[in-house]
Chains A and B, each alone.
Chain A
Amino acid sequence: QYQALVKEIAELDENDRKLEELIQSCTLQLKLLTEDSESQRFAYVTCQDLRSIEDLAEEMVMVIKAPADTKLQVTDPSEALQISLQSSRGPVDVFLCPES
């Protein structure tokens, strides 16, 4: 039993290593994809897209476009329902998604 367990653990370690490899390559692929200028040109949604989502159809939807590394802080809800944004790399754009 002990020998079988040792062999099983070695197999799990191999699986773990292969998964780690796939995660690294997927992360790199996604990074290259989002940085590709051609893809960036078509990487947008429309207000209609947001309104087409059932949960959002009857809601007020605020869209926040912030530079990288912007800090979003949410106060403990038992004290207040507060969101604060602090950017260090440029202005933050906030607007309401129109209903129609």
Chain B
Amino acid sequence: RTRILVSIGEPFGSPEKFQKINQLVSSSDRYPKRAGDTGSLPKPLKRL
């Protein structure tokens, strides 16, 4: 599987690394656009 790899845990990295990931995720047409969430009842949150 193709992956995007970034290193975290250091103070103040470059903001671009997450901008690219967020653009990729939000543009993936595989999932309903969050903005147009249907009015379905919120599903029970799974405990972390």
Q: Do chains A and B touch in the complex (CB under 8 A)?
A: yes
State the interface size on chain A (CB cutoff 8 A). Answer: 27
Contact residues in B for A78 (Cβ distance below 8 Å)? 28, 30
Q: Given the complex of chains A and B, what is the CA–CA distance between A83 and B6 in angstroms? A: 11
Q: Is B38's beta carbon under 8 Å from chain A?
A: no
Q: Is A71's beta carbon under 8 Å from chain B?
A: yes
Interface residues of B in 2-31 (CB under 8 A from A): 2-12, 21, 24-25, 27-28, 30-31
For the complex formed, measure the closest distance between the CB of B42 and the CB atoms of chain A, giving whole angstroms.
Answer: 10
Q: Given the complex of chains A and B, what is the CA–CA distance between A68 and B48 in angstroms? A: 23
Task: List 4 additional A-B contacts (Cβ < 8 Å) besides A74-B24, A76-B2, A79-B1.
Answer: A34-B11, A69-B7, A75-B1, A75-B3
